[in-house]
Amino acid sequence: MKQILKQIISLMAVILLLALFYSPQAQALSCAQLLSVEEAYAKYDGVIVGKVDKVFPDGDHNIVKSTVTTSYKGVSVNKVSMGEDRTWGNLNGPSKVGEQYLFFLTKKNGKWENSLCSPSKLVGEAKEELAFLQGKEIPLLSIPDENGSKISPASIWIISAITALGLGILAYAYLRARRKTPSR
């Protein structure tokens, strides 16, 4: 009888210890459960398809510059700058230059963010999401390219030299014509 009682107490101790360490659901992030495309569309402030042009490190974040090819919500311009986690990016990792993504963006303090829990993904992996978004496109305003609108210092010197040469030739021609005309 003592033997059985010892076994029961030992079994109860093991069960109690296991119960203390048992976790029915362990999630590192609150976003471990993915939203449906309908829920994601409702939750996020901006939904776009964009090609990543540049990625700049900025502390523990990256600044991602993207050309928007299609906007479905919240973004009305063809160029977007967004922040994202430098190590993790979003659920599918940090954005890569040259790749085209379906981005679900959050607006924080007036800036776009591709948040860690965002269901953003490569366009090639977003067939279901793109099917849902079809017909929700919004028109885009075109913003000039940052580099296309600037003139290089070398170009400024060349333009200045040509202008100075042209003005010099005009001044010479004017003075020469003035000397040839008889004064009254």
Quote the tokens at residue 113: 């963010």
Instruction: For residue 123, give the DSSP letter.
Output: G
pTM, to two decimals: 0.63
50-90 pLDDT tens trace: 999 999 988 888 999 999 999 999 999 999 999 998 776 55
Q: What is the pLDDT of residue 182?
A: 67
Tell whether the torsion through CA atoms of 65, 69, 72 and 75 is positive or negative.
positive
Q: Helix, strand or coil for residue 145?
A: coil
The fraction of the chain above a pLDDT of 70, given in percent, is 80
133-143 pLDDT tens trace: 999 999 988 87
Contacts of residue 103, defined as CB under 8 A and 6 or more positions apart, other chains included, come to 46, 47, 48, 49, 50, 66, 80, 82, 114, 118, 120
Question: Which comes out higher in pLDDT, residue 150 or 11?
Answer: 11
Tell whether the torsion through CA atoms of 168, 174, 175 and 176 is positive or negative.
positive
pLDDT, mean over the chain: 83
Q: DSSP labels for 38-107?
A: HHHHHH-SEEEEEEEEEEEEETTEEEEEEEEEEEEES--BSEEEEEEETTTBBTTBS--TT-EEEEEEEE
Q: What is the pLDDT of residue 48?
A: 96
17-56 pLDDT tens trace: 666 666 555 545 556 677 889 999 999 999 999 999 999 9
| Other beta carbons less than 10 A from residue 120's beta carbon | 27
Give the Cα separation of 105 and 50 in Å (integer): 12
